[in-house]
Amino acid sequence: MKDKFYRFMQGRYGTDSFNKFLLGAAIVVILISMFWRRDWLTLLAFLLLAYSYFRMFSRNISRRAAENQIFLNKTAGVRRWFQKEKYMAEQRKVYHIYKCPSCGQKIRIPKGKGKIEICCPKCQGTFIKRS
């Protein structure tokens, strides 16, 4: 069975970021349509699913790869924003982010060090904070 599937998928495109996005979008639309019943929502979910399956089983690999590249280019800004937010959330768990009162430079201080004097690396000014 597994072997059969493998042979079936040979020479076919498979999945990529764009397909994951299409499947995710289809699931979201299906969830919405459970609470807010509209024919066009069901149709949209079906189209998203059909399109992602079509891409997965497609033999036109270069065309699908080009579509994925367009998708990645168009969403680069959004993805970078999410990555930055995720990074900042992780940083906030371990560090306090202070702003230098004289020049506005952001300074990252480890949490749980008590009252400390912070020296700004940009303007060399010092200020006292609890970390």
Single residue of 26, 29, 48, 120 touching Zn ion by CB under 5 A: 120
- Supply the minimum distance, in Å, between the C-beta of residue 123 and Zn ion: 3
- Supply the minimum distance, in Å, between the C-beta of residue 127 and Zn ion: 9
- Cβ(13)–Cβ(57) below 8 Å: yes
First and final CA of the chain: distance in angstroms? Answer: 59
- Supply the minimum distance, in Å, between the C-beta of residue 23 and Zn ion: 48
Please, is 6 exposed, middle or buried when counting C-beta atoms within 10 Å of its C-beta (0-12, 13-18, 19+)? Answer: exposed
Query: Of the listed pieces 19-27, 58-66, 82-90, 103-111, which binds Zn ion according to CB under 5 A?
Result: 103-111
Query: Of the listed pieces 4-12, 29-37, 40-48, 121-129, which binds Zn ion according to CB under 5 A?
Result: 121-129
Measured between alpha carbons, how far is 8 from 10 in angstroms, rounded to an integer?
6
| Nearest alpha-carbon partner for 100 in 82, 84, 119, 77 | 119
Q: Does 99 bind Zn ion (CB under 5 A)?
A: no
Q: Does 122 bind Zn ion (CB under 5 A)?
A: yes
Interacting residue ranges for Zn ion, rule: CB under 5 A: 100, 102-103, 105, 120, 122-123, 125
